[in-house]
Amino acid sequence: MRGLKMDKMKQQQKPKLVIERDYSKYGFSVDVDYLYKARKGLSHEIVEEISKIKDEPKWMLEFRLKALEHFIQRPLPTWGPDLSRIPFDDLVYYLKPIDKQATSWEDLPEAIRQTFEKLGIPEAERKFLGGVGAMFDSETVYHKIREDLAKQGVIFCDTDTALKEYPELFRKYFGTVVPYNDNKFAALNSAVWSGGSFLYIPEGVHVNIPLQAYFRINAPQMGQFERTLIIAEPDSKVHYIESCTAGVYTTKSLHAAVVEIIALPGAHVRYTTLQNWADNVYNLVTKRAHAYENAIVEWLDANIGSQVTMKYPSVYLLGQGARAEILSVAFAGKGQHQDTGGKAIHLAPNTSSTITAKSVSKDGGKTNYRGLIKVLPGAINSRSFTKCDAIILDEQSVSDTIPYMEINENQVSIGHEATVGKVSDEQLFYLMSRGLTEQQALTMIVNGFFEAFTKELPMEYAVEFNRLIQLEMAGAVG
Amino acid sequence: MLVTDFLQMIKNRSEPSWLKQRRLDTFTKFSQLKMPDSKEEEWRYIDISQVNLDNVKIDGYTDISIDFGNDVIVLLMKEALNKFSDMINEHAFSLFTDADKFVSFVSSFWNNGVFVYVPKNVQAELPVTVKINNTNNPVYSLVVLDENSKLNFVEENVADKINPIVSDKINPIVSTSVTEIFVKENSKLNFFCSQILPENLYSFYYKRASVERGAEINWFLGSFGAKLSRWKVETFLKGENAKCQKYGIYAGNKNQHHDIITKTFHLVPHTSNNILVKGVLTGRASSVYRGLIRIEKNAQQTLSYMGAHTLLLSNKAKSNNIPSLEIEANDVRATHGSSVGQLEEEKLFYLMSRGLDRKLAENIIVEGFLETVLNKFTSDEVREKFRAITNERLLNA
Amino acid sequence: MELEIKDLHVSIEGKKILNGISLKIKEGELHALMGPNGSGKSTLAYVLMGHPKYKIDSGEIIFHGENIINLTPDKRAKLGLFLGFQYPTEVPGVTFKNFLWTAYKTLNNGASYVDFNEILDEKLELLEIDKSFVLRYLNEGFSGGEKKRSEILQLAVLNPKIAVLDETDSGLDVDSLKIVANGIKKLNENGMGILLITHYQRILNYILPDFVHVMTDGKIVKSGGHDLAKEIEEKGYEGIKDG
């Protein structure tokens, strides 16, 4: 449908539209009197101060300082998107909005409560969630779990609270999946982490309604460094959803989270992310899971917002029969670079992994798929399949595909397929022949392209995801 | 090599002055460059700790035999320098302005090679066959197909003079070569190249081709020998309707490492590329296939495919595949497929149920696996040869 | 309301495919266009719907009294034109129903979802298609017969003024063919103008066309009544051409 003839006609029909991303729903910010605001930049003193404010045990302070040392020494990655413009020295690394976490929305300061009302969180909680954690800048301001789940022994609280209330459980698993020196941004997170979710599912317990965490960056030029730890005991099951949005600013912000999942034998953990940061946010996140015998870990990872995202959710398949499912979708619009993908490391026999990646780039946006399938000696009968599809919607946009396959065992079946190109002319023509405008047809095809992801979401999220894509697709026909 | 030795070498050779000057220039660059380190992406999975180009002993001329029909011009480089100095000066290393340590090593020290020129409108009937006796001495070859010409070029790399039993761990033989290929408008080159070196050699082959409007290059590659074998084969599709096909097989046994890089650059609209590389590894052999398809911003209406598949016959064999795409244009179709696997028991069982012993059954499956590449070969002779070598290396190993 | 094709010359990548086609189809008329493979029948269908791949060298397509050759396919659909595809394209992830509803409400301003559902159910019944069909992804994994039925279902729901049906009969077993033919017949009786493109005269055993046109090498070489179809069956296309 990009034939010369049509292009000419389009020019006659309407002027070229330049549409900015629509932030009407998420881009706002509110005035908050912060209880504590660290001074700009990062230092040992700031790390010590954070630890002191949080009244942490000594081992945690030592962990933080070790991590800080590593962060300082470790160079920026030499591959991937350009990170040289992150204003490390101008960021605020800790920003405490309230003194005491609430378990009722009414107890929150008005501005913060309104923020989450506007984002629809309390309503969603009433309707279909089993628990909610809400993080506002550096602290989790609200946390609640449904009573019936709590009674079954499910723990769902913010990570700082967990350190205090479940010190043994916490220390047993914290930092075991993503060590502090894993990469520069995991080191940064380890040094200044604050907030995030701690989720513990006892053996055999199935949590059948999703638990949700909402991450909100309100202040300008800040870094949000939440830390999430999920421990799924044998044969348990849980679905955790996180959403991220931020106020829009002209200055840069940084979000560097670490997520660790431990899926013990037979456990099934699904982790869904709807990332819609404002596009002044650098989103550099380390997400990793350990899957033991017959455990299933699913990462459903959608990246629509942010200026730069680097995120490759990983699963270490440590036990026989463990399974990893990674579904990664990305949309890169003007000025955005989505460098996403997934990793599966097969360390045990009869393990399997599937990575499905779908991306759309538009208005000069850039999507990269970066992935790794690694099979270690002895991981016999490993099976892995990766499928990457990228759509490039216009001449300004680009897409790279960089899959690594490191196979050190022969009794395996490893496959990879990828396609990159534009929306098929034939599909467009077919839909338009039924009366759909080019814009409608394109949006429909792109929504269909992402359907493999949306069909896995709870209904309310699927509707919201499709709405976001529709907003992003506005002006696709130029 | 010390500067004084280098100057002595230049002095001793009766070469055109431009070449001497160029050697001096690249030698400076070569001396400044460090040996690549495993942190560099392209050297990540390859162990070259035994290779030190700064210490490689170079002496004399590489022994090369050539065989060709009389409608094309084929000369040993050392002779071509007298007759075709201008053409060599114009083309030599012009595609390698970004020379790394290895390429600048070759451009500083090359001593011999093959010069091939196919004049305008000449459609060579007989193939040009070149047998290069690999040693430490770097080799530089230049192949120029003028407009509307056609050539089949067969390059065989052997090392007859090297005793395969004697292994020198401290100073291993490092064989290096650079080949530049210019396929001008509406010409067609079938380029066959095999590497059958003894297993105490390290080999590093760099090949780049510039393909102009309406022209076509078909690469047929076979990587079999050497302790460590690195190929870097790059094609620049510079004119509309230029075409590239790369078909390659590799077969590794014992402790061999086969490392193959192919890159295709689509620089203009309406170009096409098709790659299929398959390898079979047994023993403790390992391989890396690193492929890149890059489609530049204005290179619309491009069709590009890359397939990379590895069969692992033993549980100590290892394979790394990185088939990458960099797509800057939207009205294109770029795809790749890649797989790593073993012999399927089902297939073996089927064949064995018909009375074949396991060895023979494996044989047949391996042959079938490689057949989809070999059947693309336009030379029966080369195909049969590659088949025979593969069998010898894998199945009688 | 009529569709009039006037001396249409069309080429693709410099190669001429249609060499002066003229044809007039009125509402309620049923025209059969027959011809051997490669005669340009499908090209004509695509060109009528506005596929950008083809270049119109000269001639006009008049619909609603205006020359529509510069209109995009959606504008043509909005005017009441429909193309039943020979090879309907798969659109993964988009359900048949979601797609058809979007098309329906675009073509019918202020359409209600309730009405749409009613019409859809009625047409499903008419064409003997199971209800679960509409929840599948558009044409994805459809068998040859399902694809053709899906086209006719869309035709019946969208109810255009003029429909061009490209080889709608191919790939159908006898039972399906009957159902599809009856569907077309009904729509035609209710006033829809139809250009039925077909290679064989098989479907014409079930629907009697008002006019039959024979096309070879991008030209209509003969037009006549439904008897012409019989003649083709007896003599073959070569016979017609020579006669």
For chain C, which residues make up each domain, given as ranges? Answer: 2-242
Q: What is the mean pLDDT of chain B?
A: 92
Q: What pLDDT is recorded for position B356? A: 80
Contact B325 A401 (CB under 8 A): yes
Alpha-carbon C235 to chain mean position: 26
Average pLDDT estimate for A271-286: 95
Residues of chain A neighbouring B321 (CB-CB closer than 8 A):
403-405, 407, 416
pLDDT tens digit sequence for B122-163: 999 899 999 999 999 999 999 999 999 999 999 999 998 776
Axis-axis angle for helices B358-374, B380-390 (nearest 10): 150
Whether residue B356 is contained in a domain is answered as no
Of residues A337, A326, A346, A444, the one with CA closest to residue A387? A326
Q: What pLDDT is recorded for position B11? A: 87
Residue B169: pLDDT band by 50, 70, 90 thresholds? low
DSSP string spanning A345-379? EE-STT-EEEEEEEEEE-TT-EEEEEEEEEE-TT-
Q: What pLDDT is recorded for position C205? A: 85
Q: Does B331 touch chain A (CB under 8 A)?
A: yes
pLDDT tens digit sequence for A115-153: 999 888 999 999 889 999 999 999 999 999 999 999 999
Q: What is the mean pLDDT of chain A?
A: 92
Backbone torsions φ then ψ of A267, nearest 5 degrees: -75, 155
Q: For residue A427, give the DSSP letter.
A: H
Distances (CA, A) of B387 to A342, B374, C134: 38, 8, 53
Chains adjacent to C (≥3 CB pairs closer than 8 angstroms): A
Domain boundaries along the sequence of chain A:
27-311, 424-478
Higher pLDDT: A288 or B10? It is: A288
Q: What pLDDT is recorded for position A13? A: 36
Q: Are residues C222 and C214 in contact, defined by beta-carbon separation less than 8 angstroms?
A: yes
Contact C91 A6 (CB under 8 A): no
Of residues A339, A357, A310, A302, the one with CA closest to residue A469? A302
Residue C105 has pLDDT above 70, yes or no: yes
Q: What percent of chain A lies above the pLDDT cut of 70?
A: 94
Q: What pLDDT is recorded for position A311? A: 98
* Cα distance between residue C177 and residue C172, in whole Å: 6
Q: What pLDDT is recorded for position B69? A: 85
Residues of chain C neighbouring A422 (CB-CB closer than 8 A):
none
The DSSP element (H or E) to which A332 belongs, if any, is: strand A323-332
Residues of chain C neighbouring A9 (CB-CB closer than 8 A):
70, 72
Radius of gyration of chain B from its Cα atoms, rounded to whole angstroms: 21
Q: What pLDDT is recorded for position B109? A: 93
Chains adjacent to B (≥3 CB pairs closer than 8 angstroms): A
Q: Are residues B6 and B30 in contact, defined by beta-carbon separation less than 8 angstroms?
A: no
Domain hosting residue B149, numbered range: 3-343
pLDDT tens digit sequence for A190-248: 999 999 999 999 999 999 999 999 999 999 999 999 999 999 999 999 999 999 999 88
Contact B337 A403 (CB under 8 A): no
* Cα distance between residue A294 and residue A318, in whole Å: 10
Q: Does B301 touch chain A (CB under 8 A)?
A: no
Of residues A90, A47, A92, A51, the one with CA closest to residue A70? A47
Residue C237: pLDDT band by 50, 70, 90 thresholds? confident
* Cα distance between residue B13 and residue A314, in whole Å: 58
Q: What is the mean pLDDT of chain C?
A: 90
Q: What pLDDT is recorded for position B397? A: 52
Chains adjacent to A (≥3 CB pairs closer than 8 angstroms): B, C
Residue A41 has pLDDT above 70, yes or no: yes
Q: What pLDDT is recorded for position A372? A: 97
Give Cβ neighbours of residue B254 (< 8 Å, ≥ 6 apart): B199, B283, B284, B285, B397
Q: Do chains C and A touch (3 or more CB pairs under 8 A)?
A: yes
CB-nearest to A417 from B45, B319, B337 is B337
Give Cβ neighbours of residue B263 (< 8 Å, ≥ 6 apart): B232, B233, B234, B235, B291, B292, B293, B294
Average pLDDT estimate for C174-181: 89
Residues of chain B neighbouring A400 (CB-CB closer than 8 A):
324-327
Average pLDDT estimate for C53-65: 93
Q: What percent of chain B lies above the pLDDT cut of 90?
A: 76
Residues of chain A neighbouring B340 (CB-CB closer than 8 A):
405, 407, 412, 414
Average pLDDT estimate for C152-164: 95
CATH architecture of C2-242: 3-Layer(aba) Sandwich (3.40)
Residue C46: pLDDT band by 50, 70, 90 thresholds? very high
Contact C52 A433 (CB under 8 A): no
Q: Is the pTM of this model over 0.90?
A: no
CB pairs under 8 A between A and C: 93
Distance from CA of A448 to the nearest CA of C (A): 4
Q: What pLDDT is recorded for position A4? A: 34
Average pLDDT estimate for A350-359: 98
Of residues B145, B235, B219, B151, the one with CA closest to residue B183? B145
Q: Which residue has the tokens 């302070």?
A: A61
Residue A1: pLDDT band by 50, 70, 90 thresholds? very low
Higher pLDDT: A3 or A282? It is: A282
Residue C242 has pLDDT above 60, yes or no: no
* Cα distance between residue A235 and residue A249, in whole Å: 45
Give the CA count within 13 Å in the CB-facing half-sphere of C217.
3
Task: List beta partners, residue A337.
Answer: A308, A366
Residue C69: pLDDT band by 50, 70, 90 thresholds? very high
Average pLDDT estimate for B264-293: 97
Q: What pLDDT is recorded for position A296? A: 98
Q: What percent of chain B lies above the pLDDT cut of 70?
A: 96
Kindly identify which residue of chain A lies nearest to residue B332, measuring between CA atoms.
Answer: A421
Residue A53 has pLDDT above 90, yes or no: yes
What amino acid is encoded at C16 in this protein?
A: K
Q: What pLDDT is recorded for position C106? A: 87
Encode B100-109: b = buried (16+ Cβ within 10 Å), e = exposed: bbbbbbbbbb
* Cα distance between residue A364 and residue B315, in whole Å: 46
Residues of chain A neighbouring C68 (CB-CB closer than 8 A):
none
Give Cβ neighbours of residue A105 (< 8 Å, ≥ 6 apart): A113, A116, A117, A122, A142
CA angle C166, C172, C173 (to 5 degrees): 160
- Which residues 5-64 on chain B approach chain A with CB closer than 8 angstroms? 41, 45
Residue A198 in 3-state DSSP?
A: strand
Encode B53-89: b = buried (16+ Cβ within 10 Å), e = exposed: beebebeeebbbeeebeeebbbbbbbebbeebeebbe
* Cα distance between residue B380 and residue B383, in whole Å: 5
Given strand C30-34, what is the order of strands in its sheet? C81-84, C162-166, C193-198, C30-34, C211-216, C219-224
pLDDT tens digit sequence for A14-35: 333 333 455 567 888 888 889 8
Q: Does B394 touch chain A (CB under 8 A)?
A: no
Whether residue B381 is contained in a domain is answered as no
Question: Which site among B327, B345, B347, B348 would you substitute to test the A interface, given the most A Cβ atoms closer than 10 Å to its Cβ?
Answer: B327
Q: What percent of chain C lies above the pLDDT cut of 90?
A: 62
CA angle C222, C227, C232 (to 5 degrees): 60
Residue A196 in 3-state DSSP?
A: coil
β pairing state of C30-34 and C193-198? parallel
The sign of the torsion formed by the CA atoms of B156, B161, B164, B166 equals: negative
Q: Are residues B183 and B208 in contact, defined by beta-carbon separation less than 8 angstroms?
A: no
β pairing state of A95-96 and A36-37? antiparallel
CB-nearest to B327 from A79, A414, A420 is A420
Residue A10 has pLDDT above 50, yes or no: no
CB-nearest to A444 from C50, C89, C99 is C99
Give Cβ neighbours of residue A157 (< 8 Å, ≥ 6 apart): A133, A143, A145, A165, A197, A198
* Cα distance between residue B146 and residue C38, in whole Å: 40
Residue B349 has pLDDT above 80, yes or no: no
